[in-house]
Chains A and B, each alone.
Chain A
């Protein structure tokens, strides 16, 4: 499998170029923040009419990752749908497609803040799930360990010779892994953001997704002095 392997809590995990996480020894494929149905939700709420192809594009990539890894279990780490109405409004071709992907394997939908309820698809629906020594949930909890989560859509920037290259990124330290967003219509949060700085330990690293996956020390925001009050 073409990816970037790293050791986490004694387990070898592979960060895949697409942003999926592959746990070879347990045959578990994890993806986070698919945000399926995002364009539909925006249109419904009176926003712009974005090209309605992101569900198709996201599922195509997921299908390719599943075909390449043939996982026993697929875990969707939450925010799989942009909202519950989008999940319930999903066209029959989308729901058939998801059925096909699920055939012959375990499928776990973790609740996200965008989709905090049953989605109406096959598979099990959980707040979190354990595969010792790892725990899978949507939003990282401050004092946990062995935790795999999503939610933040991290992206990392690498400054090379006169060029800044930004890509969605995995973040990990000894206690947790945060996955990049897998969905097509998703933006990113810079690793310098204070939310990510507070969660990740000083020695955290980032793995950039894309053709050339590379692993770098996580770039952090400035250390704030206590005298500077946040606005």
Chain B
């Protein structure tokens, strides 16, 4: 074991600290080509990652950039810069640290390319952008180490795939580059190591002491959780009491809308005016920055937040984490709980607040799983090729490239190590010519092969456009919300375009914790005025919707089979008993379906327990079959455990609709025409560079109106059904939003054993579905009927009929 350099030893003792074994472990293995550190939050993980860099830079001889630090959040990069300044200043180390994100001024960015600091803190997108410049080789000369923080979070998204392609590029520039990954507790460290390594090289894993088990409880409330809904309003007094008893409380929600609703209600009940803030990804940057600053300064007693605070920013003295709503995924719960008590070796304290009675069951199941260290996770699929297409364009921006060399470089990443040359060539052809069967763009190719075989941009000016499109984060379907006034208005945040489209002037919704009234839509901005005291029509901006993991779903189904439920509160026990009495409780090996009329419509509810995305797909498949059979479905909504479908006609026998062979047959033809595919297409086509981000967002100059990506999808499906973009869309949809794999799992598990219960009214277990957000309309005969009815009504009202 390598001891700390004396200077560092003295610094640690001056602080009264002893270096953790994993911190010295990182030093002794500093020469490893790739190393993954798994440590709980608060374990000095980041310092462990930086110690070798600080030690190597301490003598002041290194020229240029030494260490590149990548984090998923801009805020995290800024936070780390602050934290590193302490040891650097204390030990008077000759080290320059700078961050570089989308918020960095252009002048400094330009200077950083020519004269980089020793340690550069950045995000995957900013790194991709840096690599797209012709002078990338000069910028990264001297680079020795790259640290990927919160690698478990990055590995879950396309941002992570892009990052690994960037690391492959860096490794080509700097063959001796060493890679370090810092990860929270995960279920499969080997998968993250494979993802981090330069393929086929190995990547060792260093495990820090996981520390004591967290102290997780259900929050005790006087009021019962409601039958349905996601607001958890009933828990407000108990939550306020907890805020009073603790220094700083983080209150996590699964969606932005829920966070907004909860914050709104909390604020109304906050008679003592405790300083409480809200933080989520839909808020305007200015708003978020204010909350972050107040938090760091210790001025807030609580923050209502979403996944935007999931990652390891040091928010100061958090001593309690409250999770509102079912955590959906045990691993995420454990990671969130780790945010409380940033002192190592002290147990983190957390409370779970189910938003409704179903979630009581899910929370208890998650709590048991966390205690048993039963983490959940899904295997990584092959890398997404839309990201590959973008990366080919980025490579072309940096200068002429050789196809074979780029292909070999891509194959050094874990996600693309099995990429076939034919697949690569298809992506290259797409980037160059659009890849259409109709070779229309031979004159206007984006990339051209020169006489010497290298590929380059047809027109160097294209680089600017390609750079504007870099990144894999999709925010294309949101509109800015601003307070209406003469100066253009204060930005409040963003809402989804589909939500904005349903607003009529006078409607109210909550954003940034205040109720606002919709006034007008102008130049892609939603103009609102303040409407204090009004009852809001809640915003449907969805935030991230996680699917409940297979493991957790199975736990819940097993719990349902118990005779009684001593571990559950009385109200929930009574509710489950009532469901058992008037209908049935779902069983692991059977599929429960209920039919009932409600509010003038006929409903069927299918308890598939396959997770939100698969249940959504099931809803689309079933309504499509109902449409084909003339059963007039109007729409459906899916949760993690059930799909509720409503329509004009009663379904007497749902079994034929659910025949596996027919579902599978229908799946293929159905897949090409549905809304989920179109949404996935829009995402993938934007990443791959087929659609410019600006096309959908930002300035629309006068009448030059844009057209919907759905038109591109329909046209391509009709005229070029084998096109690469459609293949990519299919692959991505199967992985994420469609999740047909879990439908297969459900069909295998229930094997045709269906229980159909016909009721004369809504069942206790179906009730929560009625208040779910994200209802999906079915475009079919029923729509046309509604359209006609509404048009007739309007004409009559206007005296024109």
Chain A residues in the interface with B (C-beta under 8 A): 39-40, 43-44, 46-54, 56-57, 151-153, 157-166, 184-190, 192, 195, 205, 208, 211-212, 214-217, 221-222, 228-229, 231
B240 CB, nearest partner CB in chain A, Å = 34
Bound-complex Cα distance A151 to B595 (A): 51
Bound-complex Cα distance A208 to B783 (A): 14
Q: Tell whether B520 is near chain A: CB-to-CB under 8 Å.
A: yes
Bound-complex Cα distance A151 to B705 (A): 11
Whether A159 pairs with B440 at a CB distance below 8 angstroms is no
Residue ID in chain B nearest A50 by CB atoms: B712
Q: Across the interface, which residues of A come within 8 angstroms of B689, CB to CB? A: 48
If the complex has contacts A158-B790, A163-B777, are A186 and B501 also in contact, measured as CB distance less than 8 A? no
Whether A160 pairs with B441 at a CB distance below 8 angstroms is no
Bound-complex Cα distance A46 to B692 (A): 12
Whether B783 pairs with A51 at a CB distance below 8 angstroms is no
Interchain Cβ contacts under 8 Å between A and B, 30 examples: A43-B441, A43-B444, A44-B444, A46-B459, A46-B461, A50-B434, A51-B436, A51-B716, A52-B436, A52-B438, A52-B440, A53-B716, A56-B719, A57-B718, A152-B703, A157-B501, A160-B787, A161-B786, A161-B790, A163-B786, A164-B502, A166-B501, A185-B707, A192-B521, A208-B791, A214-B788, A215-B795, A216-B791, A217-B795, A228-B486
Q: Tell whether B505 is near chain A: CB-to-CB under 8 Å.
A: yes
| Interface size, chain B (Cβ < 8 Å) | 53
Bound-complex Cα distance A10 to B469 (A): 53
Whether A189 pairs with B705 at a CB distance below 8 angstroms is yes
Whether A215 pairs with B791 at a CB distance below 8 angstroms is yes
Residues of chain B in range 752-801 having any CB-CB distance to chain A below 8 Å? 775, 777, 783-784, 786-791, 794-795, 798, 800
Residue ID in chain A nearest B469 by CB atoms: A48
B703 CB, nearest partner CB in chain A, Å = 6
A109 CB, nearest partner CB in chain B, Å = 20
Whether B440 pairs with A189 at a CB distance below 8 angstroms is no
Whether A49 pairs with B433 at a CB distance below 8 angstroms is yes
B471 CB, nearest partner CB in chain A, Å = 16
Residue ID in chain A nearest B504 by CB atoms: A159
Residue ID in chain B nearest A185 by CB atoms: B707
If the complex has contacts A184-B711, A217-B800, are A49 and B434 also in contact, measured as CB distance less than 8 A? yes
Whether A49 pairs with B690 at a CB distance below 8 angstroms is yes
Bound-complex Cα distance A176 to B63 (A): 73
Q: Tell whether B446 is near chain A: CB-to-CB under 8 Å.
A: yes
Q: Across the interface, which residues of A come within 8 angstroms of B798, CB to CB? A: 217
Whether B438 pairs with A53 at a CB distance below 8 angstroms is yes
Top-3 shortest CB links A-B: A49-B434, A187-B705, A52-B440
Whether A57 pairs with B486 at a CB distance below 8 angstroms is no
Bound-complex Cα distance A206 to B182 (A): 59
Q: Across the interface, which residues of A come within 8 angstroms of B436, CB to CB? A: 49, 51-52
Q: Across the interface, which residues of B come within 8 angstroms of A50, CB to CB? A: 434, 690, 712
If the complex has contacts A39-B440, A48-B689, A217-B800, are A158 and B791 also in contact, measured as CB distance less than 8 A? yes
Q: Across the interface, which residues of B come within 8 angstroms of A187, CB to CB? A: 705-708
Residue ID in chain A nearest B485 by CB atoms: A228
Whether B705 pairs with A51 at a CB distance below 8 angstroms is no
Q: Across the interface, which residues of A come within 8 angstroms of B690, CB to CB? A: 48-50
Bound-complex Cα distance A53 to B501 (A): 29
Whether A195 pairs with B434 at a CB distance below 8 angstroms is no
Q: Across the interface, which residues of A come within 8 angstroms of B718, CB to CB? A: 53, 57
Q: Tell whether B462 is near chain A: CB-to-CB under 8 Å.
A: yes
Bound-complex Cα distance A157 to B505 (A): 14
Bound-complex Cα distance A187 to B791 (A): 23
Whether B712 pairs with A51 at a CB distance below 8 angstroms is yes
Q: Tell whether B176 is near chain A: CB-to-CB under 8 Å.
A: no
Bound-complex Cα distance A52 to B436 (A): 8
B502 CB, nearest partner CB in chain A, Å = 5
If the complex has contacts A48-B692, A49-B690, A189-B705, are A212 and B715 also in contact, measured as CB distance less than 8 A? no
Q: Tell whether B74 is near chain A: CB-to-CB under 8 Å.
A: no
Name the residue in B446, B689, B705, B795 with the highest tally of chain A Cβ atoms < 10 Å from its Cβ: B705
B92 CB, nearest partner CB in chain A, Å = 52
If the complex has contacts A48-B689, A50-B690, are A165 and B787 also in contact, measured as CB distance less than 8 A? yes
Whether A165 pairs with B462 at a CB distance below 8 angstroms is no
Q: Tell whether B488 is near chain A: CB-to-CB under 8 Å.
A: yes
Q: Across the interface, which residues of B come within 8 angstroms of A216, CB to CB? A: 791, 794-795
Q: Tell whether B723 is near chain A: CB-to-CB under 8 Å.
A: yes
Whether B715 pairs with A57 at a CB distance below 8 angstroms is yes
Bound-complex Cα distance A228 to B519 (A): 14
Q: Across the interface, which residues of A come within 8 angstroms of B775, CB to CB? A: 162
Residues of chain B in range 512-546 having any CB-CB distance to chain A below 8 Å? 519-521
Bound-complex Cα distance A165 to B707 (A): 15
Residue ID in chain A nearest B520 by CB atoms: A222
A131 CB, nearest partner CB in chain B, Å = 26
A50 CB, nearest partner CB in chain B, Å = 6
Q: Tell whether B691 is near chain A: CB-to-CB under 8 Å.
A: yes
Q: Tell whether B299 is near chain A: CB-to-CB under 8 Å.
A: no
Q: Tell whether B465 is near chain A: CB-to-CB under 8 Å.
A: yes
If the complex has contacts A46-B459, A51-B720, are A163 and B502 also in contact, measured as CB distance less than 8 A? yes
Whether B501 pairs with A52 at a CB distance below 8 angstroms is no
A162 CB, nearest partner CB in chain B, Å = 7
Of B504, B705, B784, B791, which contacts A211 at CB under 8 A? B784
Residue ID in chain A nearest B445 by CB atoms: A49
If the complex has contacts A51-B436, A57-B715, A215-B791, are A153 and B703 also in contact, measured as CB distance less than 8 A? yes
If the complex has contacts A46-B461, A217-B795, A217-B800, are A158 and B707 also in contact, measured as CB distance less than 8 A? no
Q: Across the interface, which residues of A come within 8 angstroms of B691, CB to CB? A: 48
Of A47, A160, A184, A229, which contacts B715 at CB under 8 A? A184
A220 CB, nearest partner CB in chain B, Å = 11
Whether A221 pairs with B462 at a CB distance below 8 angstroms is no
Residues of chain B in range 490-512 having any CB-CB distance to chain A below 8 Å? 501-502, 504-505
Bound-complex Cα distance A200 to B720 (A): 41
Q: Across the interface, which residues of B come within 8 angstroms of A214, CB to CB? A: 787-788, 791
B773 CB, nearest partner CB in chain A, Å = 12
Q: Across the interface, which residues of A come within 8 angstroms of B712, CB to CB? A: 50-51
Of A151, A189, A231, which contacts B488 at CB under 8 A? A231
Bound-complex Cα distance A185 to B707 (A): 6
B230 CB, nearest partner CB in chain A, Å = 18
Given contacts A49-B434, A50-B712, A217-B794, 12 further A-B contacts (CB under 8 A): A49-B433, A52-B434, A57-B719, A159-B504, A160-B790, A163-B783, A184-B711, A185-B707, A190-B521, A211-B784, A215-B795, A221-B520
Bound-complex Cα distance A211 to B782 (A): 13
Bound-complex Cα distance A126 to B465 (A): 38
Name the residue in A54, A187, A231 with the highest tally of chain B Cβ atoms < 10 Å from its Cβ: A187
Residue ID in chain B nearest A39 by CB atoms: B440
Bound-complex Cα distance A192 to B505 (A): 12
Q: Across the interface, which residues of A come within 8 angstroms of B777, CB to CB? A: 163
Q: Across the interface, which residues of A come within 8 angstroms of B703, CB to CB? A: 151-153, 189, 195
If the complex has contacts A49-B441, A49-B446, A56-B719, are A185 and B788 also in contact, measured as CB distance less than 8 A? no
Q: Across the interface, which residues of A come within 8 angstroms of B784, CB to CB? A: 211-212
Of A49, A190, A192, which contacts B444 at CB under 8 A? A49
Q: Across the interface, which residues of B come within 8 angstroms of A229, CB to CB? A: 486
B691 CB, nearest partner CB in chain A, Å = 7
Residues of chain B in range 410-458 having any CB-CB distance to chain A below 8 Å? 433-434, 436, 438, 440-441, 443-444, 446
Bound-complex Cα distance A157 to B520 (A): 14
Bound-complex Cα distance A211 to B786 (A): 13
B586 CB, nearest partner CB in chain A, Å = 29
Bound-complex Cα distance A190 to B500 (A): 14
Whether A186 pairs with B707 at a CB distance below 8 angstroms is yes
Q: Across the interface, which residues of A come within 8 angstroms of B707, CB to CB? A: 185-188
Residue ID in chain A nearest B430 by CB atoms: A49
Whether A165 pairs with B504 at a CB distance below 8 angstroms is no
B269 CB, nearest partner CB in chain A, Å = 30
If the complex has contacts A49-B433, A50-B690, A214-B788, are A185 and B520 also in contact, measured as CB distance less than 8 A? no
Q: Across the interface, which residues of B come within 8 angstroms of A51, CB to CB? A: 434, 436, 712, 715-716, 719-720, 723
Bound-complex Cα distance A151 to B702 (A): 12
Residue ID in chain A nearest B444 by CB atoms: A43
